[in-house]
Amino acid sequence: MGAIDAVILDLFGTLVPNFSLDRFWGCVDSVADVLGAPRTGFRAEWRATFRQRMNGTLRDGEEMFVPLLRKLGVAVDGAALAEANRLRRDFMATELVPKDGAHECLVELRQRGYRLALATDCSSDTPALLDRTPLGEFFAVRAVSAELGVTKPHPAIYEHVLAGLGVAGEACVYVGDGNSEELPGAKRHGMTTVWVDNGEAQEWKDRFVPEADLAIRDLRELPALVAGR
């Protein structure tokens, strides 16, 4: 197989698109309406708790809304919490749609004998929702920020996935859209880095060109690229 034994992939912006900002904030506004919270204040509190949701300090579920409502001085209603959580989960499930070529890419990588792993910054119920998609079957090894309590580029993310794979960083290719300084973090662990260039579709954060060893625009390019290392 050569020097590369494993491929580690990011989730959002890599295997599935980054959230559309319009759809994302539309969902947040719908949740605020259900909870009886002011949209502007709820948006601000939701944005402020992003890090807590990513590192698992604030776990997904009905109770996640309670501290936000208390800050906003809004009464907590059990039925409203349940409906708000349903809206949030439905949005997440709708957004976890594989990119064109993602499934074919993973099938081919597995057929070529590469071990596959996932390294993602996400909230606590995303892995279970991912398992309902065609992508879930590929990742026995996962570094999930909400489970590890840290986000990229913290070394624990990379160390967790390398330990699970049982390989050294030099035997891995790391694939991601470059958000959260994930590519330099992977490089510091000896991995070959591949940037997924989303072009105009990279709307979640400012568009940028991160430092990486290689770049692709379509995931179907990846298996041959890895095989050539």
Q: Above 80 in pLDDT, residue 205?
A: no
**Residue 54: its pLDDT value, please?**
96
Q: Do 76 and 142 fall within a single domain?
A: no
62 pLDDT band, cuts 50/70/90, is: very high
Query: Is residue 21's pLDDT more than 90?
Result: no
The average pLDDT across 102-127 equals 96
Higher pLDDT, 18 or 114: 114
Could you tell me the pTM of the whole model?
A: 0.93
**Is the same domain home to 135 and 60?**
no
pLDDT of residue 1: 43
Quick check: 202 pLDDT over 90? no
| Among 64, 95, 126, residue at a domain's last position | 95
pLDDT at 2 exceeding the cut of 60: no
pLDDT for residue 207 is more than 90: no
49 and 115 together in one domain:
no
Q: What is the pLDDT of residue 206?
A: 54
Same domain, 117 and 201: yes
206 and 120 in a common domain: yes
Residue 188 lies in a domain: yes
| Residue 198 shares a structural domain with residue 154 | yes
Per-residue H/E/C for the chain: CCCCCEEEECCECCCECCCCHHHHHHHHHHHHHHHCCCHHHHHHHHHHCHHHHHCCCCCCCHHHHHHHHHHHCCCCCHHHHHHHHHHHHHHHHHHCCCCCCHHHHHHHHHHCCCEEEEEECCCCCHHHHHCCCCCHHHCCEEEEHHHHCCCCCCHHHHHHHHHHHCCCHHHEEEEECCHHHHHHHHHHCCCEEEEECCHHHCCCCCCCCCCCCEEECCHHHHHHHHHCC
Mean pLDDT of the chain, nearest integer: 93
Residues 107 and 217 grouped into a single domain: yes
Residues 42 and 139 in one domain: no
The CATH number assigned to the domain holding 164 equals 3.40.50.1000
Q: What is the pLDDT of residue 208?
A: 61
Same domain assignment for residues 105 and 86: no
Give the total number of structural domains in the chain.
2
Domain boundary among 43, 69, 95: 95
Range of the domain at 78: 21-95
| Over residues 214-223, mean pLDDT | 96
Residue 1 lies in a domain: no
Domain C-terminal end among 69, 95, 121: 95
**% of residues, the chain, pLDDT over 90:** 88
